[in-house]
A and B are shown apart, each in its own frame.
Chain A
Amino acid sequence: MNTLVAEPAKKREGAQPDKKTEASLALRKRMGDNLVAIGLHRDEAAFADVYSYYSGRVKSFLMGKGMNDEIAEELTQEIMLTVWRRSISYDPKKAAASTWLFTIARNRRIDYLRGNSRIEVELDDEMLDVETTESDPQAKFVSDAQSAKQLERALEKLPQEQRQVMHLSYFRGQSHGAIAKWLDLPIGTVKSRIRLAMQAVRSSLLSEDESLHDNSTESS
């Protein structure tokens, strides 16, 4: 089942997606399709589309995190080359194209700065807690087109001050402390805005989850 293209058969009441949400979902699908096409047939046109959309954002992310133009340009090219060569490992059921790109750029930056890789969970770890994955409603949000829409909307609805702090945390500041200093706020305020934003996003996904349950079909 291709969960990304599966649209719910009926629109739910009150679910009047604004234009921005629709546009970003269309873009999400196009970029996901591009990555799949690159992975499957080394589709150069698809890569050109991915490149023109993401390379400037990747570089903006690197520079925003403190790299100079020259190094950011070089790393951007490396990251886009990774996209070209590793698209075969992109799974549209697991992540949006932007999430995949963001994590590659994030990890490459960490590699570059630290000289060793980002430390992550290893999914074949014998200690991995998998007990409740199947029944956990949070487990399916990433793979689900409806959840992608909910996530977009939840982010749209965040108060501007929370959006700003989230944006700074992902793409500009080195730490919550740096953001606090930049915005001239107590660090506790920055942290509570991040906490509130994360909670809002999560609860918007969970609250709509039950009503959607009959639409969801599990695949494995």
Chain B
Amino acid sequence: MNVQHHLTDETIQDYAAGSLTASMETLVACHLTVCNQCRHKAMLAENVGGSLFDDMEPAAVAGSAMDLLARAAMMPEHSAPSSPASKPAFKGVPLPLARQLPADLDDLDWRRIAPGIKQFNLSSQHRKHGAFQLLHLDPGVVLSAHSHNDRELTYLVQGSYTDEIGQFKAGDIADLDGHDQTHQPVVDSKEPCIALIATQSPVNYSGVFSKIMQPFVGI
């Protein structure tokens, strides 16, 4: 896959840190599947996390290694969680997304929301937690100009569109992050353009750090 538009370093780092929502993770994992350049960056970001892990100030732990081993000896070891048995094979759909689809792209229960535009919602959550959906755009469709306030990721599943930033094809990511710039995508592929979109609304930050903000070493 000839990928032209990649994830930003910040998004890759956020993914490695485990700070993204499940929907954002899905988009990132889709792109990492088809782009080994970003996949290697993600591996590096995990290694950075591992290296920095050593610098952490340890917390006091109540249990001991020997207690744990004694407990382990008495606890049955349930078999390793095997990867989901059936592997969906939807053409052109990376597994991180395919596993969340009830059917092939053609057979989804698309909902028409405007002329030439259909939508399939992937999240049962309330919209305030951020949107997670597939958009199905007919060839030639022009979306109305809009900008994004929230964090938004788009992964192109099939087809292509062009906007002010460039042309986006299958495998590409549009990693828009609080860009105020307005963009107006135009579908320019012969086949319908299908895009996976996730937005992450700002979470409520209050109390996140509360009193657990301990001194840490090395920084």
Cross-chain contact B22 with A96 (CB below 8 angstroms):
no
Cβ 8 A contact of A178, one of B18, B44, B69, B205: B205
Cβ 8 A contact of A121, one of B22, B39, B55, B77: B39
The contact string, 1 if C-beta is below 8 Å from chain A, for chain B 32-49, is 111111011101111111
Cβ 8 A contact of B61, one of A73, A99, A100, A106: A73
A169 and chain B: residue at smallest CB distance: B17
B13 and chain A: residue at smallest CB distance: A194
B8 and chain A: residue at smallest CB distance: A195
Given A122-B96, A177-B203, the answer on whether A96 and B65 have CB atoms closer than 8 Å is no
Given A52-B65, A64-B212, the answer on whether A163 and B59 have CB atoms closer than 8 Å is no
Cross-chain contact B57 with A84 (CB below 8 angstroms):
no
What band does the interface of chain B fall in when counting residues whose beta carbon is under 8 Å from A?
A: 35 or more
Q: Answer yes or no: A130 CB below 8 A from chain B CBs.
A: yes
- Interfacial chain A residues near B182, Cβ < 8 Å: none
Interface residues of chain A: helix, strand, loop or mixed (majority): helix
Cβ 8 A contact of A129, one of B36, B71, B178, B203: B36
A127 and chain B: residue at smallest CB distance: B94
Q: Which of A56-81 contact B (CB under 8 A)?
A: 56-57, 59-61, 63-64, 66, 72-73, 76-77, 80-81
Cross-chain contact B47 with A167 (CB below 8 angstroms):
no
Q: Answer yes or no: A37 CB below 8 A from chain B CBs.
A: no
Q: Answer yes or no: A145 CB below 8 A from chain B CBs.
A: no
Q: Which 6 A-B pairs have the closest CB atoms?
A: A56-B58, A99-B50, A51-B65, A60-B59, A98-B50, A106-B18
C-alpha gap A18/B29 in the complex (Å): 37
Show 14 residue pairs from A and B whose CB-CB distance is below 8 angstroms, ordered by the A residue: A24-B54, A76-B61, A84-B69, A86-B80, A96-B50, A139-B36, A152-B51, A166-B52, A171-B216, A178-B205, A178-B209, A191-B10, A194-B10, A194-B13
Cross-chain contact B14 with A175 (CB below 8 angstroms):
yes
Q: Answer yes or no: A101 CB below 8 A from chain B CBs.
A: yes
B residues near A (Cβ < 8 Å) are 1, 3, 8-10, 12-14, 16-19, 22, 25-26, 29, 32-37, 39-41, 43-66, 68-69, 71-72, 77, 80, 83, 87, 89, 92-96, 177-178, 202-203, 205, 208-210, 212-214, 216, 218-219
C-alpha gap A66/B18 in the complex (Å): 14
Q: Answer yes or no: A128 CB below 8 A from chain B CBs.
A: yes
B28 and chain A: residue at smallest CB distance: A119
Cross-chain contact A151 with B72 (CB below 8 angstroms):
no
C-alpha gap A24/B57 in the complex (Å): 15
- Interfacial chain B residues near A195, Cβ < 8 Å: 8-10
Given A160-B219, A163-B219, A178-B208, the answer on whether A102 and B50 have CB atoms closer than 8 Å is yes
Q: Answer yes or no: A85 CB below 8 A from chain B CBs.
A: yes
